[in-house]
């Protein structure tokens, strides 16, 4: 039987290990300091202060004001809250249109599908072969009728990074709100909401070494939206429900660690990713999906033509990698992201995502390289 240290975990775009220092910080809020942060007694106040502190730390990571951060259960809830909240606050007769991109995460695509069902017009823009949004195409369809434009910052399957600053400028020229799903970017690369001039930005803790079940969104103060969850008025009336204290403390600590270590983590992880990528590209016929675009330093999505990804994943045994996004891995459809980038179904089915973190080592990356080469060689002979 495999024990934990035998796994080589290269699926960090799906979820990450909690940082030990984050876990240490969280535990007292599940045992010693378990009060409800809305209670006015001493323990309640202690817990409330920790939430205030965590909100500041997350705001620092994003260059936001603490009052602009709303904690939720994660990115999916945040996306639902923001899109449905904007729509509920809008006038459908003057602004009936939503624009997004065909390569977005299913949390965006399926929320948009629902908004279509209730009468909004949704445009799903195509991408170029690189995975980058075709700006000329966007300029053709956006108009004063556009309520919100939603474009992800970094793609979860390929790591392809969109030019959100430029896209936001276009949205604002038409008085459309600009939202970005930055779930794969926050905590990994610098994200500055002021520099981007973004209206809404989505993040999730478990993608950058905080626990699952905590995330949130940034919103620019002047923007109005109707809360998705009504109740006791927590989160300044923007998301009700007893606060997930330990999760909030955890994401706060994570934000602090990420901010302090960003440059060195990027350098360390990129070196490992580049080594993995360069070595796997030596295998005949392989190519990197999205190679011509700017990409996150921790992801490489490689096509091994004529070898089914499911077969490779099975043969890799204790090396944990992914074919497409985790939410889709039980489906037998090719990745919609890769298809939109122009891949054939066969090549999409033969593509694997390797996503790294600060916990990977050169030794394990070298082992992975040799294992993949061995499997492919045996398959071809
Ligand atoms: C880009 C992107 N958006 C949204 C989500 C959903 O995140 P969560 O698990 O926090 O709901 C994910 C996670 O897979 C993601 O990668």
Assign 3-class secondary structure to 233-253: CHHHHCCCCCCCHHHHHHHHH
Same domain, residue pair 144 and 53: yes
pLDDT band, residue 92 (cuts 50/70/90) = confident
Question: Does the CB atom of residue 358 touch ligand 1 within 6 A?
Answer: no
214 three-class SS: coil
Atom of ligand 1 nearest to the CA of 155: 1
Give the distance (Å) from ligand 1 centre to CA of residue 208. Answer: 11
Task: Indicate which residue's Cα is closest to atom 7 of ligand 1.
Answer: 75
Are 253 and 315 contained in the same domain?
A: no
Q: What is the pLDDT of residue 364?
A: 97
Residue 39 — left, alpha, or beta (φ > 0 → left; ψ -120 to 50 → alpha)?
beta
Please indicate whether residue 327 is annotated as part of the active site: yes
Count of domains forming the chain: 2
Do residue 341 and residue 201 come from a single domain? no
Q: Whose CA is nearest to atom 8 of ligand 1?
A: 75
Q: Which pLDDT band, with edges at 50, 70 and 90, does 121 fall under?
A: very high
CA dist., res. 123 & res. 127, Å (int): 13
Does residue 62 sit in the same domain as residue 166?
yes
Cβ–ligand 1 contact at 104 (below 6 Å): no
pLDDT of residue 294: 98
Look at ligand 1, atom 4, and give the residue with the nearest C-alpha.
Answer: 75
pLDDT at 159: 98
Around Cβ 15, how many Cβ atoms within 10 Å? Answer: 17
pLDDT score, position 6 = 87
The alpha carbon of 337 and the centre of ligand 1 are apart by a number of angstroms equal to: 15
Q: Residue 202 Cα, ligand 1 centroid: separation in angstroms?
A: 9
247 and 368 fall within a common domain: no
Which of 257, 289, 308 is a domain's end point? 257
pLDDT of 376 over the 70 cut: yes
**Which domain-ending residue is among 233, 257, 281?**
257
Whether 295 and 357 map to the same domain: the answer is: yes
- Answer whether 159 contacts ligand 1 (Cβ < 6 A): no
* One domain, residues 97 and 224: yes
335: CATH: 3.90.1150.10
Could you identify the atom of ligand 1 that is nearest to the CA of residue 74?
A: 10
Please identify, by atom number, the ligand 1 atom nearest to the C-alpha of residue 205: 10
Atom nearest to 78 CA in ligand 1: 11
Q: Domain range spanning residue 24?
A: 20-257
Task: Write the CA distances from 174 to 28, 148, 168, 200, 264, integer angstroms.
Answer: 49, 10, 10, 17, 39
Distance from residue 3's CA to the centre of ligand 1 (Å): 28
- Among candidate residues 112, 254, 303, 327, the one labeled active-site is 327
Q: Ligand 1: distance of its center to the CA of 306 in Å?
A: 30
Q: In terms of Cα–Cα distance, which of 188, 195, 159, 172 is closest to 341? A: 159
Same domain for 270 and 247: no
List of E strands, the chain: 8-9, 69-72, 97-101, 121-125, 146-150, 177-181, 200-204, 215-219, 287-288, 299-303, 319-320, 351-355
Do 195 and 301 fall within a single domain? no
Task: Please write the tens of the pLDDT for every residue from 43-85.
Answer: 999 999 999 999 999 999 999 999 999 999 999 999 999 999 9
Residue 17, SS3? coil
- Give the list of residues 6+ apart from residue 330 with CB closer than 8 angstroms, or none: none
Give yes or no: residues 184 and 285 share one domain.
no
Which CATH number do you get for residue 247?
Answer: 3.40.640.10
Say if residue 267's pLDDT is above 90.
yes
Average pLDDT, the chain: 96
Alpha carbon nearest to ligand 1 atom 14, residue: 14
Same domain assignment for residues 13 and 24:
no
Looking at 227, 257, 287, the residue that finishes a domain is 257
Calculate what percentage of the chain has a pLDDT beyond 90.
Answer: 92
**CA–CA–CA angle 262, 217, 295 (5° rounding):** 45
Q: Pocket of ligand 1, candidates 100, 103, 152, 156: which has the most ligand atoms within 8 Å of its Cβ, to mutate? A: 156
User: Of all residues in the chain, what percent carry a pLDDT higher than 70?
Assistant: 97
At residue 237, φ and ψ (nearest 5 deg) are 70, 10
What region does 306 belong to: left with phi over 0, alpha with psi -120 to 50, or beta?
A: left
Q: What's the confidence (pLDDT) of residue 173? A: 98
Q: Whose CA is nearest to atom 16 of ligand 1?
A: 156
Give the SS3 label for residue 346.
helix
Contacts by 202-206 with C-beta closer than 8 Å and gap 24+?
202/75, 202/78, 202/79, 202/82, 203/58, 203/62, 203/75, 203/78, 204/74, 204/75, 204/78, 205/74, 205/247, 205/250, 205/251, 205/254, 206/15, 206/16, 206/74
Atom 13 (ligand 1) nearest CA: 14
Ligand 1 contact, 156 CB (< 6 A): yes
65 shares its domain with 106: yes
Closest CA to 316 of 264, 276, 271: 276
Residue 29 has pLDDT above 90, yes or no: yes
């Amino acid at each position: 039987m495999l024990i934990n240290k035998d796994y080589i975990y290269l699926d960090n775009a799906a979820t990450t290990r909690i940082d030990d220092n984050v876990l240490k910080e969280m535990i007292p809020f599940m045992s010693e300091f378990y009060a409800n942060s809305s209670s006015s007694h001493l323990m309640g106040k202690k817990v409330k202060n920790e939430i205030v502190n965590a909100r500041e730390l997350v705001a620092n990571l994003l260059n936001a004001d603490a009052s602009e951060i709303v904690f939720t259960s994660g990115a999916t809830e945040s996306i639902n809250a923001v899109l449905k909240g904007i729509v509920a606050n809008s006038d459908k007769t003057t602004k009936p249109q939503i624009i997004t991109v065909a390569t977005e995460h299913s949390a965006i695509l399926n929320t948009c599908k629902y908004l279509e069902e209730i009468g909004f017009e949704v445009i799903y823009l195509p991408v170029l072969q690189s995975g980058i949004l075709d700006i000329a195409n966007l300029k053709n369809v956006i108009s004063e009728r556009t309520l919100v434009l939603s474009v992800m910052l970094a793609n979860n399957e390929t790591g392809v990074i969109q030019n959100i600053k430029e896209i936001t400028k276009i949205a604002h020229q038409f008085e459309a709100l600009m939202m970005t799903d930055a779930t794969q970017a926050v905590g990994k690369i610098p994200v500055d909401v002021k520099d981007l001039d973004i209206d809404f930005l989505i993040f999730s803790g478990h993608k950058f070494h905080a626990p699952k079940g905590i995330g949130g969104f940034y919103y620019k103060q002047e923007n109005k939206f109707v809360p998705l969850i009504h109740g006791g008025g927590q989160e300044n009336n923007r998301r009700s429900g007893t606060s997930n204290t330990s999760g909030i403390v955890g994401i706060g600590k994570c934000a602090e660690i990420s901010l302090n270590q960003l440059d060195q983590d990027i350098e360390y992880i990129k070196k490992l990713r580049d080594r993995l990528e360069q070595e796997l590209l030596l295998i005949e016929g392989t190519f990197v999906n999205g190679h011509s675009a700017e990409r996150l330093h921790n992801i490489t999505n490689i096509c091994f033509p004529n070898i089914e990804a499911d077969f490779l994943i099975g043969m890799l045994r204790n090396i944990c990698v992914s074919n497409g996004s985790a939410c889709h891995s039980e489906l037998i459809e090719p990745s919609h992201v890769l298809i939109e980038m122009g891949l054939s179904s066969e090549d999409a089915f033969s593509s694997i995502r390797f996503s790294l973190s600060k916990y990977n080592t050169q030794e394990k990356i070298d082992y992975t390289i040799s294992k993949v080469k061995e499997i492919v060689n045996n398959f071809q002979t």
